[in-house]
Amino acid sequence: MAELIDPFNRRIKYLRVSVTDKCNYRCGYCMPPEGVHPEGRHTEYLDADEIERIVRAFAELGVRKIRLTGGEPLIRKDLPQIVRRIGRIDGIIDLALSTNAHHLARHARQLAEDGLDRINVSLDSLKPERFAAITRGGDLNKVLGGIEAAQRAGLNPVKINMVVMKGTNDDEIEAMVDFARTQGVEVRFIETMPIGPAGISVMDQHYPAEQILKRVRAHVGDELIPLASRSHDGPARNFRIGDSDTKIGVISAVSQHFCETCNRVRLTARGVLALCLGQEDSVNLRDPLREGISDEALKVLIVDAIKKKPERHHFNENIHNIEFRQMVNLGG
């Protein structure tokens, strides 16, 4: 069967798989204070067998990169099993994990042994009290310990994702650059995105990527060198500081969209294939699985779904209308 190519001739090589929409943190741009199940209801998630089967179908259609996301993936008890299963699938050459790193210290080595390649860590502040406020209760020391454990386990490059919010943490841009230099990690600065009520609620704190880069350049002088993109860079524009190994990236989904090179789709924890962060297009894969769809028919369903992938998002035009889902439901 042909590889996945959308109507705009973009080859789909990257699938983000959310394994849960629950999280032990409550970052304001991602989910409401009460969480996603305020009444204690538990959503029926894809099980490990179903995740493996869907990922295998995507791999047979040319997808090569998988990122496991949440919510917080590490609160799912069978995550190591999911990692092992995906790691055995022919064709998958890059298996990564996005995490808040709160529980990472005790899992990093096992995940590396199970086949995980890399880690992305959400870290919006290096100040303990501010970090606790942004995450509504997070523990910065546990996150920093998780980052160190990931490095020791060989889950490199460890990438730090910082959502920059004007008036909240934008005064730490330079400190995060220095953290990258001293700790041997990569840092990516991310614009706030108007996804769901939580995301829209922080758009008054939007800090454009070009202003971020201006600050970084002022901090490091003339040493900020643009880099050609790598296979696992995704939407980031990346730079190296001088002749060092320190890399800085910016993701500008709102001020300078990167839709023309988008090669990814997202599978939610409940088995919905989301084709764009900023559009409502989606296809349910879980129900056909449970109704007995064959592997070949599943691949046909996926191919047909990719035909619905839109040309671009419309964050700037429809900022007040994109309330149909939370960022946490989409897996970031």
Confidence of residue 300 (pLDDT cuts 50, 70, 90): very high
Greater confidence, 149 or 311? Answer: 149
pLDDT per residue over 286-295, tens digit each?
A: 999 999 999 9
Q: Which residues pair with 278 in a beta bridge?
A: none
Residues contacting residue 159 through CB under 8 Å, at least 6 positions apart:
118, 119, 120, 121, 185, 186, 187, 188, 249
Our CA angle for 6, 9, 15, nearest 5°, is: 45
Amino acid found at 296: E
What pLDDT, on the 0 to 100 scale, is given for residue 30? Answer: 80
Rounded to two decimals, the pTM is 0.89
Classified as helix, coil or strand, 6 is coil
Q: Mean pLDDT throughout 207-230?
A: 89
Domains and CATH numbers, the chain: 14-324 (3.20.20.70)
Per-residue confidence band for 28, with pLDDT thresholds at 50, 70 and 90: confident
Per-residue pLDDT averaged across 107-135, rounded? 97
Least confident of 37-51, 78-92, 112-126, 265-279: 37-51
| Residues 146 and 73 sit within 8 Å (Cβ to Cβ) | no
Q: What is residue 313's predicted lDDT score, i.e. its pLDDT? A: 59
